[in-house]
Amino acid sequence: MITPNEIEQVLKSVLPLEQQDQAKVLAYLLEEVLNKQEISDTNKIKIRSDTQVQSALQSLSGKNIRLKEAILSFGAGSQMGEVTIGNIAMGNIYNINLPLSPNSANVVSKTSIPLSSRGSLAGSEKLEPLWIEAINAFEENNLRKAELLFAQISKINPNYRNVQHYISDAQKADMFLAFYRGLCDKEDNQWREVKQGIGMLEHWHPGYPDTQGLRDWINLQEAREARYKVALRLYEDAKYDEVIVEIEGLVKEFPEYHEAIQLLQGARDNKLEQEYREYIRSLKTWQKEAREEQIEEDKKREI
């Protein structure tokens, strides 16, 4: 039987220096795969939820690692925990496929949770179902439920696996989610506050998943305001025809854009007044020319 210690020592010889602390975690994962020829749901969750483990597995991709009684060949398959075994002269060759989870948009995949400190597994038969349920809730962003389940586990055994890290991360994730949802509830005219809030969230949690597309929405609001400012400059230059064309298109795209609606109405009113004044000027010019023609006609008749 291949032991975790044997696997750990070999892994340390091939993993980069910055990933040495993941050798023990991977050794226990691989020991299960090699000796049971399968991988448990719990260990699948470990692979999906810990970015450090994922990074270490990526470093092993394509490598063949020789043990005393076997060779571990790391590939990239389509099934989690798929293991094939073939006889070789000195023992067995294990083709191990441990693909990373494609789910990268949830909070868990953005959170680095150390697994190297395994803690006590006392009462694991009772706690393991709770642990799996808590992890699933955490991955689904059901953070309140996850926090309660982790707290329940911690009450029974505070050193169970890495429950304290998960409690802390669930609390932080819940705070981030509440803050993000608050930004989603802002009105269009509050987009600057949303932009500032997204900047703060990015500072606290780089790469936080923007599931509602707030960044795209902010870009749209910035583009909208840029168009409004162009129209405003045209308005100040009394180019009301151009203002009307620009703002009508803007209002069509943003029917609740009250400032644009007001500017459009102002441009229309000013255009009417401009046309009326032009009409009066033209009328006065015509009247003046008519009087001058009449004077010329009168002079001709006198002669």
Q: What is the pLDDT of residue 244?
A: 94
31: tokens are 């020991």
Classify residue 27: in a domain, yes or no.
yes
Q: What is the pLDDT of residue 109?
A: 28
Q: What is the pLDDT of residue 124?
A: 60
Classify residue 240: in a domain, yes or no.
yes
Enclosing domain of residue 49: 4-97
Read off the CATH number of the domain in which 221 is found.
1.25.40
* Number of domains into which the chain is organized: 3
Q: How many C-beta atoms lie closer than 10 Å to residue 195's C-beta?
A: 18
148-182 pLDDT per residue, tens = 899 899 888 888 888 888 888 888 888 888 888 88
Distance separating alpha carbons of residues 239 and 96, to the nearest angstrom: 71
- Residue 89 burial (10 A CB sphere; 0-12, 13-18, 19+): exposed
Say yes or no: 265 and 193 in one domain.
no
* pLDDT beneath 50, residues of the chain: 76-93, 99-122
Classify residue 300: in a domain, yes or no.
no
Say yes or no: 8 and 50 in one domain.
yes
Quick one: DSSP state of residue 160? Answer: B
Classify residue 102: in a domain, yes or no.
no
Q: Please measure the distance between the N-terminal and C-terminal CA atoms of the chain and give it in whole angstroms.
A: 135
Q: What is the pLDDT of residue 81?
A: 39
Taken in order 248, 250, 252, 257, the sign of the CA dihedral is negative
Which neighbouring-strand residues pair with 85? 94
Classify residue 166: in a domain, yes or no.
yes
Say yes or no: 237 and 157 in one domain.
no
Classify residue 298: in a domain, yes or no.
no
Which neighbouring-strand residues pair with 82? 97
Distance separating alpha carbons of residues 130 and 151, to the nearest angstrom: 10
Does the pTM surpass 0.75? The reply is no
Say yes or no: 137 and 196 in one domain.
yes
Classify residue 299: in a domain, yes or no.
no
Taken in order 237, 241, 244, 246, the sign of the CA dihedral is negative
Distance separating alpha carbons of residues 303 and 299, to the nearest angstrom: 6
